[in-house]
Amino acid sequence: MKFLAAAAALFLAAASPVSAATAKPDTRVVLPTDVRPDRYEIRVAPDPDRLTFDGHVKVELTVVRPTDRIVLNAQDLTLEKASLSGLAAAPRIEWNAEEQTAAFVFPQRLAPGRYTLDIDYKGRIFQSPAALFYLDYSAPDGGKRRGLYTQFQNSDARRFAPMWDEPGVRSVFSLTVDTPPGQMSVSNMPVASETPLEGGKRRVRFADSPKMSSYLLFMAMGDFERISQRVAGVDVGVVVRRGDTEKARYALDATVKLLPYFNDWFDTPYPLPKLDLIAGPGRSQFFAAMENWGAIFYFDYAILLDPKLSTETDRQYVFTTVAHEVSHQWFGNLVTMAWWDDLWLNESFASWMENKASDHFHPEWNLWLSTQAGQQGAMRLDSRAGTHPVITDIPDVFAAANAFDTITYQKGQAVVRMLESYVGEDAFRTGVRAYIRKHAYGNTVSDDLWAALDAAAPGKDVTGMAHDFLRQPGVPLIRAAPAGNGVRLSQERMAADPSQSAPQTWRTPVVVKGLAGGAWSGVVSAGRPQTAPVAAPAVVNAGQTGYFRTAYAPALWSKLAPQFGRLAPADQLGLLYDSRTLGEAGYAPMSDFLALARNTPADADPLVLDTLATQLSAVDALYSGRPGQARFRTFARARLVPILGRLGWDPKPGEPDNAAIARRTVLTTLGDFEDPMVIAEARRRFDRWLVEPESLQGAGRRTVLSIVAANADEATWEALRRQALASKDVTDRSRLLALLAGSDDPKLADRALALALSGDVSPSEAPTIIAAVAGNFPDKAYDFAIANRARVDELLEPTSRTSYYAELAQASREPAMLEKLGRFKATVPASARGEVEKAEGAIRYRLDVISRRLPETDGWLASNGR
C-alpha cells in the first residue's frame, strides 16, 4: 500500500542492543487455530442507491482439532442464516464486538475433517474508503455516477464477508458479483463466466484466486473502460471511468516495462493470468494505492495524467507508485508476512524497490536523491519521543493500522538500501530470490529473509545488523574527529529530546571518502571506535546510504564546509539535512546550516536547490508569528532569488526534468516568504488565466495558483472557489479545494473549514480541506475537527481516525495543544495512542527548538544576514 505521511511530506558506554520483542501470540487479538478455511465462494449483489448489499458465502473448511465452535471475523454485517454441512440444526451465533468476531456455536463438538459453512448476510456500502465503499463523480455528459470499490488492508475484509481476516491465513477466493446493465465488475482474477439475470443484470463469476490473505481480495463495479496490452504472457490492463482511457496510457506503459523487470529481478514470473490497475476518483487521507493481487487499486491522482494539468512531479509519482504496487505482487502477495508486526516485510521492501526499479528506467530523475527527504522525515521522528521500532508490537487491528507510518516505510526502506549497499547488489538479489522461491504462497517472519541474505553473503552477519536497526528504535550518531592523518569515528545515540537518552548500539556500516582521494569502509558501533585512514577534508557516509547522522568536530567541519560546492549532490544533501537537524538538537551550532545555505551555489543540482528551499521553509515555520521572521525571510529570499534568476518562471529547452521540480518549489517558497516580485508576477499570470484558461498548464498552472492562493484576498479566494467547484476533473477539483485551504489569512482559513462540511464538497474532499488548513493553522484545524468529530469520523477509515486528528495537531507551536492532545488521547484505544504520542513528541521538540535555538539563529542573522 502506498502510504501518505503528512508529517513526512513536511518534514556512552557500550551496551547490548535493546531488542523490542514482537507481540507474543498470547497477547494478540487473534482467531483460534482449530479451524482452517480452505476456499471461499462469495456472492454479492450490491445496491449502490441504497448503499447496501446482499451477500452469501460458502466456506470450505477443515476442522483441525475437535471444537464446538467456528470463530471468524465479522463486523458491520447482519448474519441472517447459517448452516454447516452434515448438521441439521443451525448454529447459535455469539458476537464479540470488541474483537470483531462472530462465533458459530454447535450443540456438540465437531470432529476433525472437512466441512462447508454457508452464511447468508447483508452489509453496508461506506462513504469512507474502507471495506466496500463508493466514490461519486460527474460523468462527461454532466450526469452523476457512482463507482464501487473495496479496500481491505489492514482489517476490513470482515466488513465485506464473514472470514478469517488475518494475514497469516491464506485461502482460495471465488467471487461472484451481480452486476447492473452497462457496468463492469473487476476482481483479482479474470472473468470465468457470466449468467444473465432479470432486468438486464449479469451474474459475473471470477476464476479462483491462488491461496492468498484476505486483505488482498478486491472488487470494483461501475461504468468503466479498460485498455490493455499483453506482456510476458500476462494481460496487463488499466481500468478507468468511461472517458479517461487516454489519461491511463502512461501508467499502462509503465506497467508493461516494470512487469518483465520484476520477473527477472525476482527470478520468479508473475503467477496470475492478468494484472489490472484500477483507478478511482477521490482520495483517502492515508493511502494512494493498494496492491490487491492482480487488481491494484489507485486513486486517480496516483495513476492518471492529463497533459494540461499534470506536472513533472506527477509523472514521477505515478511511475514510482506503479512500481511500488507491482513489486508487492511478489514481496507481500506471493510471500506475505505472518502477522502485522512484520508489516515492514511488505512496505519497506516495496518502498525501496519502487526507487530501484524506477531508477533503472529513469536514471535522469536521480530518485535516490529524492528519497533522502523521506528518510530525513523518519530520522527526525526516530530521534525523539513517539518513535517505535520498525518491527513493533501489534496486538490488534488498531495498532496494525497505525503501523503504516513513516518509520515502517521510510526508515524501513532506508535500512534495506543500507543493507544492499553493505552486502553488494548481486549478493542481496541472490538472497531475495532464494527467499521468494522458498516461501512462495506462504507466510514469513523477518528472520526468514535475514537467513537467506546471510547465506548469500557469508561473513556479513546481516541478521545481527538488521536486528540492530529494525528491532530497536533510534538513530545512530557517528562522531567524526581528527586523528593524525585520518578520521576517528565513534558512535552514540542521537537524542533530540531526553526520551532518547538511554544508550544503544548499532553495528553501523560507514563509508568515508576524502576529497583529495582515499576511501574507507567499515562497521562502527558504540564502544568500538574506528579510525579511517583518509585525510581531511573527508565526507562521512559518502553516498548517504547509511541510516545515521554525522557530527563533525569543528576542525573537520571547517575544512569540509567550504568545499560544499565540490561535493556530490547526495553528500550536499546529507550535509544540509544533518547540519540543520544537529543544529536544532544542540549538537552543532545553527550557523553550520545557515552558512551552508548561504554558500549553496545557484547552479547546484536541481534536487539540492529543491531541498535548500524546503529546509529554509522548515526554519521559517519555526518563526511563525515571531519577531525574527522578517529578518530570516530577508536572508532566505537572498538565497533563493538568484536561484530563481537562473531557473526562471518558464521551462527552458533541454533542461533536466528535475529543473521543473526545483522551479516550482523555489517559486512557491518565495511566495510564502512574501517576495513582492514573485507575488506580483503570479497575480498577473492568474488574472490572465481567468480570461484565457489555456495560458497556464501543467507545473506553471499549479505553481501560479499555489502562490496566489497562499496570498489571496477575499475576492481572489472567491474566484478560486468558483473555479474549484466548477472543475470537471476530479483530481484538479480536489487540488484547487486544497489550495483554498492553504491561505495565510486566518479568516479565509475559517471559510475553508466551513466549506469542508458545507455539503458542497464530496466526502473524500472534506477531510483533505481540513488537513490543508492545518498546514498554516494546525490549532484552528484541530479545534474545528474535534468540535465536529462525529461528522468528521464518518469521512475517515475507522482504524485510521486517531492518526488523522493527531496529524492535524502535529505542526502546532502552542503549548496548549499538548493539553488538548492529552484529553483526546484518553478517548482512543490504548493500542492507537502511539499516534498521539508522535504528535506530542513533535510539538515538545518544536517548542524546545523555538526557545533554545531561534535566539542563536537571530544572533547569527544579525551579523551575517546578507
Cβ proximity of 159 and 52 under 8 Å = no
3-class secondary structure, 479: strand
- Alpha-carbon span 752 to 773, nearest angstrom: 7
- Alpha-carbon span 7 to 488, nearest angstrom: 35
Cβ proximity of 172 and 211 under 8 Å = yes
- Alpha-carbon span 352 to 40, nearest angstrom: 34
- Alpha-carbon span 224 to 266, nearest angstrom: 33
Strand partners, 2: 289
**Residues near 429 by Cβ (< 8 Å), separated by ≥ 6?**
265
Q: Which three cell numbers stand for residue 301?
A: 491522482
CA distances 46 to 60, 148, 518, Å, are 24, 9, 67
Nearest one of 595, 552, 563, 555 to 576, comparing CA atoms: 595
The interaxial angle of helices 746-756 and 730-740, nearest 10 deg, is: 140
- Alpha-carbon span 131 to 800, nearest angstrom: 13
Q: How many CB atoms lie within 10 A of CB 312?
A: 19
Cβ proximity of 696 and 685 under 8 Å = yes
3-class secondary structure, 810: coil
Q: Which long-range contacts (CB under 8 A, 24 or more apart) does 357-362 make?
A: 357/258, 357/261, 357/262, 357/265, 357/323, 357/327, 358/316, 358/319, 358/320, 358/323, 360/261, 361/257, 361/258, 361/261, 361/319, 362/316, 362/319
Q: Which amino acid is at 118?
A: D
- Alpha-carbon span 273 to 157, nearest angstrom: 24
Nearest one of 12, 21, 844 to 499, comparing CA atoms: 844
- Residue entry with cell 576517528: 488
- Alpha-carbon span 598 to 634, nearest angstrom: 12
- Residue entry with cell 481491505: 152
Nearest one of 207, 165, 141 to 30, comparing CA atoms: 165
- Residue entry with cell 568536530: 553
Q: Which one of the listed residues 166, 291, 312, 325 is annotated catalytic?
A: 325
- Alpha-carbon span 135 to 146, nearest angstrom: 6
Q: Which string of DSSP letters, residue by residue, matches 183-219?
A: -EEEESS-EEEEEE-GGG-EEEEEPPPPSEEGGG--E
- Alpha-carbon span 842 to 837, nearest angstrom: 9
* Per-residue three-class SS string for 262-285: HHHHHCCCCCCCEEEEEEECCCCC
Cβ proximity of 493 and 587 under 8 Å = no
Element counts in the chain: helices (H) and strands (E): 29, 30
The alpha carbon dihedral of 183, 189, 190, 192 has a sign of negative
Nearest one of 161, 155, 222, 188 to 37, comparing CA atoms: 161
* 694 is an active site residue: no
- Alpha-carbon span 507 to 504, nearest angstrom: 10
Alpha carbon distance, N-terminus to C-terminus of the chain = 46
Active site residues: 325
